[in-house]
Amino acid sequence: GEAVAVVREVPAGDGQQRAVARDVCACGVRAGEPESTLTGEESVMVRLTADVFAHAVPRMNCCQERELDLRGLKIPAIENVGVTQDQFDVLDFTDNEIKRVDNFPTFKRLSTLLLSNNHVTRLSPTLSEQLPNLDCLILTNNKITNLSEVDNLIGCTKLTMLSFVNNPIIRRQHYRLYVIAKLPQLKALDFVKVKAIEREEAAKLFRSAAGRLMQQDVEAESKTFTPGEDIPSTTNPMANLTAEQKDQVRAVIAAASTPEEVDRIERQLKAGVIPTLKKAAAPAGGAAEGTDAMDTSPTAPAPTTAEAKDAAEKAAAHAVLFGSGGVGGPPPTQR
């Protein structure tokens, strides 16, 4: 909380102080803490929650566009972007830990994504549906390897500026011609203007046998799994639930009073556990209050008839040998 306060107290005109305050907020340290304490062990990933968006720094950039600064927060994945309500032209995710560009709601205003210095390896095939007016996509210093990821941008018909600088993909043969052929509307690729002669060469290449063979190789690699890469979850945790179970989950969510409880419910659903509601136990000597509480712990199974009968026989045998309350102590069932 103190680190966030630093960001809000810094005057908007002092760029150096704003950068220092942003770095302090990103590292999660307290105001006034010595610089020597900013070790790598203290830097942890931050989930992109509504609270993070609330404390992010909005501004007008030099192009007179509304921009939201989410730099250097160690964000591992894009999520909960809907809380911004499509009020920004630019989202700056520079210097994070993002691996996939996906999970956006349908935003018609958002036109620029800044994702330099992340770990991006995949682009969503539905990005054009999520961001129909995407004009600029900066992916400098990432880990995109496959040319098949370029195919996922074909639907972005308004994309005019794209950067794959310092990605493994730029070392692929005919990389630049492939991107120009697939995205003919581009005006600049890797911060270099696309020339008319390059468009002609790209069209000529993909009319040839070499171009067709290259296309087959790209289609094959799109079906290849890269070891160590996260597998995206495409399964809805509630997809296989009955209508009664779905109503039960909705009731538990409605009863949740804190974000932590909602996160716990989400984890349970992903683990295949259906959360339930239970009545809170009445205090000793008082009336039951009838309040609902979430049952998030497993319930102990009731003893079977055979177990109850066996316990009764042991208690009777103990009473015969030692008498009730004798030197033998309490029955085995109470010991």
290 in the Ramachandran plot: left (φ > 0), alpha (ψ -120 to 50) or beta?
left
pLDDT at residue number 32: 37
Sign of CA dihedral 190, 196, 199, 205: negative
Average pLDDT, the chain: 76
How far apart CA 121 and CA 279 sit, in angstroms, is 47
pLDDT at residue number 322: 53
- Beta-strand ranges (E) seen in the chain are 57-60, 66-69, 90-92, 100-101, 112-114, 122-123, 136-138, 161-163, 188-189, 192-193, 276-279, 292-295
- The pLDDT of residue 311 is above 90: no
Report, in angstroms and rounded to the nearest whole number, the Rg of the chain calculated over CA atoms: 30
- The pLDDT of residue 251 is above 80: yes
Q: How many CB atoms lie within 10 A of CB 254?
A: 9
- The pLDDT of residue 19 is above 60: no
For 206-253, the DSSP string reads: TTSHHHHHHHHHHHHHTTPPPTTPPPPP---TTTT--HHHHHHHHHHH
Task: Output the six-digit token pair for 130.
Answer: 């999520």
Q: How far is CA 170 from the centre of its chain?
A: 27
**282 or 315, higher pLDDT:** 315
How far apart CA 78 and CA 62 sit, in angstroms, is 25
Using CA atoms, how far residue 212 sits from 62, 66, 146, 206, 222, in Å, is 43, 43, 17, 6, 16
- Is residue 258 very low, low, confident or very high in pLDDT (cuts 50, 70, 90)? confident
Is the pTM for the entire model greater than 0.85?
no
pLDDT at residue number 289: 46
Tens of pLDDT, residues 91-132: 999 999 999 999 999 999 999 999 999 999 999 999 999 999
Q: Among the ranges 13-22, 219-228, 286-295, which has the highest mean pLDDT value?
A: 219-228
How far apart CA 48 and CA 289 sit, in angstroms, is 38
Using CA atoms, how far residue 39 sits from 5, 28, 258, in Å, is 21, 11, 31
Mean of pLDDT values over 142-151:
94
Mean of pLDDT values over 179-184:
94
